Amino acid sequence: MTRLQRTRTRFGRWGSGSTFALLVAVDLGLFWAMQAGDTWVPFSGYVLVAVLAGLFLAPRVLAFVDALVLVTAALTLVDRGASAPYYGAYTVLVIVMVIMFWVAASRARLGVQGNLGETMLVDLRDRLRTQGELPAMPEGWGAELSVLSAYGDSFSGDFLVTSKTDQILELALVDVSGKGIAAGTRSLLLSGAFGGLLGSLPHEQFLAAANSYLLRQHWDEGFASAAHAWINLASGEYSLASAGHPPAVRFSAGSGRWKVLEGDEGPVLGVTDEVGFPRVRGTLQRGDALLLYTDGVIEVRNRDLRDGIDRMLGTAEQMIGRGFEGMAAKMCAAARAGETDDRAAVLVWRR
């Protein structure tokens, strides 16, 4: 380990030395100013020091700064007269310290401090979104993805992973148990793992491999549903398989109708081993489209999923006259579940 790495480790453990020194100086400066009788210096300045210390210092050094602030604030309270307003301000100071220490301890459990925790979460969110970006489609093809998380959270239990090699496109739309932030960490882990599997083994084996991976995690809520699509962009041939996921839907330009691609499906991932995932095959002609979606798009409380599918198809029928662009986003936005559930839809069409 280099000297720089040792220094970073030491500061990572005790907090930034410069921040620590600055806050101690500010606290002592407040104390001396108040002892000198400068009435323009507010007692609430101690609260500001406590908040900044909680944001930028590690718990152990934060405890030292908080103790120093409490002592100097108590001496100031005695010096200015123990009146009710000052007692109230001191109580608020103690409450703020407890809250900020809890925040700092939570960050320390993650091995981060200061605003690094928020930076890390933003980076993880962006990585999850990047992994689900659709690749550039060749001439004659189009694709669109829409993912909306429950209650507008940054993380979603629904995600997409893709792989495109030569003229082969593979898509896996996954719905992790739970919703929003609660499922976000598992979504991130699974998106990385499934993204590594996708395209690296024969497409018929993808769901079986994903199922084995989930079983090895031994999560209490480790199950997930998934729809996997393999599309040959040269011929239009496709192959679909489902693991406890709502059935895919195909639009046929010849009939001008949407059709649910019924077929046998495997169980959800992460529940049982040695299971099969039957596949549905067909060919997309010019003007045809293939739609994959999660249950948040069709699920309605106290109603059968078939009713939700019929409603979704009715919405799609109304939109088809305007083309496929924007359709996935409109379907997610029009879902009856609204913001109470994660929603995702991916649409691939042949021009």
Would you state the structure tokens that stand for residue 34, as one six-digit string? 């108040």
Number of domains in the chain: 2
**242 in the same domain as 159:** yes
> Rounded to a whole number, what is the distance in angstroms from the first to the last CA of the chain?
57
Least confident of 115-119, 233-237, 271-275, 298-302: 115-119
Would you state the structure tokens that stand for residue 191, as one six-digit string? 């998106």
- Nearest CA-CA partner of 185 in 207, 208, 154: 154
**241 in the same domain as 295:** yes
Domain end call among 93, 114, 135: 114
Q: Which domain holds residue 78?
A: 3-114
**Each residue of 78-133: pLDDT tens digit?**
776 666 777 888 889 999 999 999 888 877 776 655 555 556 566 666 666 666 68
Q: What is the dihedral of CA 10, 16, 22, 27, to 10 degrees?
A: -80
β-pairing verdict for 289-293 and 249-252:
antiparallel
- Nearest CA-CA partner of 157 in 133, 112, 191: 191
Exposure letters 47-68 (e unless 16+ CB within 10 A, then b): bebbebbbbbbbbebbeebbeb
**Each residue of 316-342: pLDDT tens digit?**
888 888 899 999 999 898 887 777 788
Domain end call among 114, 141, 162: 114
**Distance (Å, whole) CA 351 – CA 287:** 5
- Residues 312 and 297 sit within 8 Å (Cβ to Cβ): yes
β-pairing verdict for 343-350 and 279-283:
unpaired
**197 in the same domain as 94:** no
Would you state the structure tokens that stand for residue 313, as one six-digit string? 């198809």
